[in-house]
């Protein structure tokens, strides 16, 4: 697994290059900055999306039937693969629930590391530390109840679950 600080730094750098300083992060603008096309398509329900990269074109295809917050996370996740894992100008990453849920499958251990890195990149991109902290300052609370978590998630355009993981990683305590 790549150093988490390095993954965060990469997300921060791309946000800077895209000129993004507020929430919700315009993830399609980030894609544009990177030169990755975003398309929405009627994919199988167990597929969140996939990233296809070849020398002439990079495109992330996102499941058009999923919730907008999930689509945002999937876009950010595919951009993570693009930034962290694409080598030699080509690659194909298909994101199915299966990959995420079969953590004990030995032959996919390398894949699972990549999935974790792409998820960390996605959460760093959609919930940048500086933006989360400034929103927290607005809330003026140290401990989150359900309502505050809901409002903050809405403001960031992420699921409450994704926000919960992010806040825990950033060292905040979150109530049930």
Binding site for Zn ion (CB under 5 A): 95, 115, 118
Q: Which of 1, 27, 35, 46 is nearest to 128 (CA)?
A: 27
CB 81 to Zn ion: min, Å: 6
- Residue closer to Zn ion by CB (options 93, 144) is 93
Identity of the residue, 151 or 161, whose beta carbon is nearer to Zn ion in the bound complex:
161
CB hemisphere CA count around 15 (13 angstroms): 25
Nearer to Zn ion, 100 or 130 (CB): 100
Min CB(42)–Zn ion separation in Å? 20
Q: What angle do CA 85, 163, 78 make, to 5 degrees?
A: 20
Decide whether 96 or 155 has the Cβ nearer to Zn ion: 96
Q: How far is the CB of 149 from Zn ion (least distance, A)?
A: 26
Q: Residues, the chain, total?
A: 176
Q: Which residue has the tokens 């959609």?
A: 126
Minimum distance from residue 164 beta carbon to Zn ion (Å): 20
Please identify the residue of the shown chain whose CB is closest to the bound Zn ion: 95
Q: Rounded to whole angstroms, how far apart are CA atoms 148 and 174?
A: 10
């Amino acid at each position: 697994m790549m150093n988490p600080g390095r993954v965060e730094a990469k997300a921060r750098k791309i946000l800077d290059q895209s000129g993004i300083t507020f929430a919700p992060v315009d993830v399609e603008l980030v894609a544009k900055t990177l030169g990755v096309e975003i398309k929405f398509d009627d994919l199988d329900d167990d597929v969140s999306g996939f990233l296809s990269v070849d020398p002439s074109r990079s495109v992330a295809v996102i499941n058009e039937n999923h919730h907008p917050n999930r689509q945002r996370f999937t876009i950010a996740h595919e951009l993570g693969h693009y930034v962290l894992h694409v080598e030699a100008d080509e690659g194909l990453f298909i994101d199915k629930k299966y990959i995420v849920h079969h953590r004990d499958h030995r032959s996919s251990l390398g894949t699972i590391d990549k999935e974790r890195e792409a998820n960390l990149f996605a959460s760093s991109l959609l919930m940048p530390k500086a933006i989360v902290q400034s929103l927290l300052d607005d809330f003026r609370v140290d401990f989150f109840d359900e309502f505050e978590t809901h409002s903050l998630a809405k403001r960031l355009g992420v699921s409450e679950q994704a926000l919960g993981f992010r806040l825990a990683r950033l060292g905040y305590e979150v109530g049930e």
